[in-house]
Amino acid sequence: MKTQILLLSALLTLNCLGQTYSTKWTDINYADDNEIYHLLDIYLPATEKEAYPVVVYIYGSAWYSNNQKGADINTIGSALLDAGYAVVTPNHRSSGDTLFPGQIHDIKAAIRFLRGNSELFKLDTSFIGISGSSSGGHLAALAGTSGLVIEFTIDSITMNIEGNLGSYTSFSSEVDAVCDWFGPTDLLVIDSCRGSSFGAPGQTPEEVLIGESKTENKTRFKLANPISYVDSTNPPFLIFHGDADNVVPYCESELLHNALLLSGIESEYFLIPGGQHYTGVHNSSNISKMIEFFNEISGNDTSDSSNNSTSFYSPINNSSIKLYPNPTNENISIAGMQKIANSDYEIFDIYGKSIINGKINRNIIDVSILNKGLYFIKLNSKEVNDIEVACFIKK
């Protein structure tokens, strides 16, 4: 049944896209092998030009699929084509094919392939943007934050993030802008954010991806986190997330957004009221914001100057609770939650390590003992069965 639905979706996509592109190359292998998971498609806009700026779009599948490269081409892909971008949709290995970091090796290999074949496919690789949804958002964000990283070490474990897949290893895998649609960014706190595990403990999508339980080896999860690689060299980000997403909780996007801001990176974050996982988030208004964002960074001459009023903004919290002052030196005051007094609280660092916990006294928490950085706070009012999450920065 699932195969039939995917096939029907693909047929509808081809029919709807009949007039959107001028040229299309399908099933190009970017890794010099015969594997379906190393195929990509390239679409060029209907408007003829010598070369087109590029956006790579990565499908979401909880890292379970290795052949879903046509996903969202009729919505996000079509809008990008209409705006004058070449759209590239790669497959990548699933968590059943290989453990992480194989998935990011694939995406980086696809980007290098595009630079190595830019003239053949009429690509202006002076601008390569990247976007993705859900697990595709995770890989897009990771490609953005780890663009200059070959190897990375955390807790004495070193992992090669770049890989050496394909024939174009001399080319860069960097990207110039990232649009992340509700992607996981910190795999160690995703359950704490949501309040429950998405799947049986030890069998969640992220644990299947890493091949270990979170209780066994936290370091490999940290090495898969886009947030682990955030620094001042990262490109600008645009992030969308629904506040009713029960698959990937919106605190995942808040954490990344705030970490980017803390490193001086331009980041724009939209929390969509009532938005679920895909539903209510992939809408025309938000897709237009994505186009404006890529136009602003790329200087794309098909942008509509009348719609270029979007500016970066920096909300620190989009939870129903409010934390202030934020950033803070000593104390955090809390407002907006029922029955705050005597509620339990727990504060985590960006790697998911619990730092301090206790009960809230007079709506104030003393955080003076914390080191400078970004933190995640979970509040639990058992009296009214209310759990809230938010982020703050300790100066």
Ordered by where they begin, the domains of the chain are 2-307 (3.40.50.1820), 322-394 (2.60.40.10)
Residue 385 is predicted with a pLDDT of 55
What's the whole-model pTM score? 0.74
> What's the N-to-C CA distance of the chain in angstroms?
53
Pairwise CA distance, residues 244 & 369, whole Å? 33
Range in 81-95, 286-300, 311-325, 375-389 with the lowest mean pLDDT: 311-325
101 or 360, higher pLDDT = 101
Residue 333 is predicted with a pLDDT of 84
What six digits make up the tokens of 240?
């969308």
In the predicted model, what is the mean pLDDT of residues 340-364? Answer: 77
Pairwise CA distance, residues 204 & 190, whole Å? 11
355's enclosing H/E stretch is: strand 354-359
CA 371 to each of CA 49, 80, 261, 332, 375: distance values in angstroms, whole numbers, following the listed order: 52, 43, 18, 14, 10
Q: Per-residue pLDDT tens for 61-92?
A: 999 999 999 899 989 999 999 999 999 999 99
